[in-house]
Amino acid sequence: MAEIDQKLNEYFQSGVQVVWVIDPKPRMLAIYTNPKGPAQILREGDTLDGGEVLPGFSAPIATLFKNIPPLA
């Protein structure tokens, strides 16, 4: 998690507006809009949208994990 925190700081200092962090083990996605959080957490039954950064984009979270077997 320390490495992710460092990367979040770097991305936002570079002008990034949103970061999606995908975690395959719990099959979830965290959306950060600032490096200090809190993140919005989406799970397989949810749908990711692009918000103001990618208007019109949407994808079911389940499709991100479609070809990844559940991890033990």
Q: How many domains does the chain have?
A: 1
Whether 70 is in a domain gets the answer no
Whether 41 is in a domain gets the answer yes
Whether 10 is in a domain gets the answer yes
Whether 72 is in a domain gets the answer no
CA 64 to chain centre: 11
Domain that holds residue 53: 2-64
CA 27 to chain centre: 11
* Whether pLDDT at 72 is above 70: no
Whether 71 is in a domain gets the answer no
Q: Tell me the DSSP string of the chain.
A: -HHHHHHHHHHHHTT---EEEEETTTTEEEEESSTT-PPEEEETTSEEE-TTTSTT-EEEHHHHTTTSPPP-
Whether 14 is in a domain gets the answer yes
Whether 19 is in a domain gets the answer yes
User: Per residue in 13-60, pLDDT tens?
Assistant: 999 999 999 998 899 999 999 988 899 999 999 999 999 999 999 999
- Residue 59 has what pLDDT? 95
- Residue 43 has what pLDDT? 95
